[in-house]
């Protein structure tokens, strides 16, 4: 442990599996105390157990990020437990592969509720705690599909594009309070959410066609940029979008 976020209080949504779990584990290794949330209670509690078993300190909160009242209660619980929140990683999200004409109203609403409202409410309700603490860092997980176009992903792209610009809005509005807000844009990452996209060698090859490093990333390869943005090393970075995509968006 090098203590890059030593003593900081970090709130990670979607921390029960995949990238969210790795974000939480890495920040715990680097000295942060964690609030881990997920609708997957078993996975979230396992992440917390892994942190606590290694001598860290973590709290699990089971709630739906699309609910504003649940967000308010979760932030209140985090502040009551740890006294403040220094870092928020808005990682929770869902994915849908479907042509626009086949996407139902219910599917679009669910996509926007989780991926957009979930991030909006997270920022909205963490900001007062960060203002009181004298500053903080918010990292919103968007996607390369929040920057470029792709087939059969219109609802998902609409949500992740919204996260990209919401991030910049928060950065501008809250810079005066020493609160930084940046977005991470992963490409093909090997997680449970993308398992279906890489279920065969042929599917994996097609998915990676524009990835110049010719491989998917492991979740921790996204967690290191998240850690950087959460730390004081990124003290002059706000409103930025960091591509973690193996070069996908360069071609």
**CB of 238 within 8 A of CB of 182?**
yes
Residue 95, both tokens? 């994915």
Catalytic residue among 121, 145, 156, 248: 156
Known active-site residue 156:
yes
Helices 68-82 and 118-133, packing angle to 10 deg:
30
Query: Cα(136)–Cα(182) distance, rounded to whole angstroms?
Result: 11
Q: Return the H-helix or E-strand segment holding 159.
A: helix 154-174
Cα dihedral 218, 92, 227, 240 in deg (nearest 10): 100
Number of C-beta neighbours around residue 227 at 10 A: 25
Return phi, psi of residue 182, to 5°: -135, 160
Residues carrying an active site annotation: 156
């Amino acid at each position: 442990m090098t203590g890059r976020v030593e003593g900081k209080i970090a709130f990670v949504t979607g921390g029960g599996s995949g990238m969210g779990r790795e974000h939480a584990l890495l920040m715990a290794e680097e000295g942060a105390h964690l609030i881990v949330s997920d609708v997957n209670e078993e996975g979230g509690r396992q992440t917390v157990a892994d942190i606590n078993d290694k001598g860290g300190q973590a709290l699990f909160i089971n709630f739906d990020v699309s609910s504003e009242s649940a967000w308010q209660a979760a932030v209140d619980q985090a502040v009551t437990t740890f006294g403040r929140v220094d870092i928020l990683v808005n990682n929770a999200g869902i994915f849908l592969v479907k042509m626009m004409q086949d996407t139902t109203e219910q599917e679009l609403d669910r996509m926007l509720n989780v991926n957009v409202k979930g991030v909006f409410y997270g920022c909205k309700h963490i900001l007062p705690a960060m203002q009181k603490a004298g500053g903080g860092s918010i990292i919103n997980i968007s996607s390369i599909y929040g920057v470029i176009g792709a087939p059969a992903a219109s609802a998902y792209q609409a949500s992740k594009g919204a996260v990209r610009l919401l991030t910049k809005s928060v950065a501008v509005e809250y810079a005066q309070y020493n609160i930084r807000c940046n977005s991470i844009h992963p490409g093909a990452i090997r997680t449970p959410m993308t398992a279906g996209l890489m279920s065969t060698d042929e599917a994996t090859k097609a998915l990676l066609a524009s990835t110049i490093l010719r491989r998917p990333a492991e979740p921790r390869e996204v967690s290191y940029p998240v850690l950087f943005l959460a730390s004081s090393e990124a003290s002059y970075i706000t409103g930025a979008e960091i591509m973690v995509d193996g070069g996908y968006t360069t071609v």
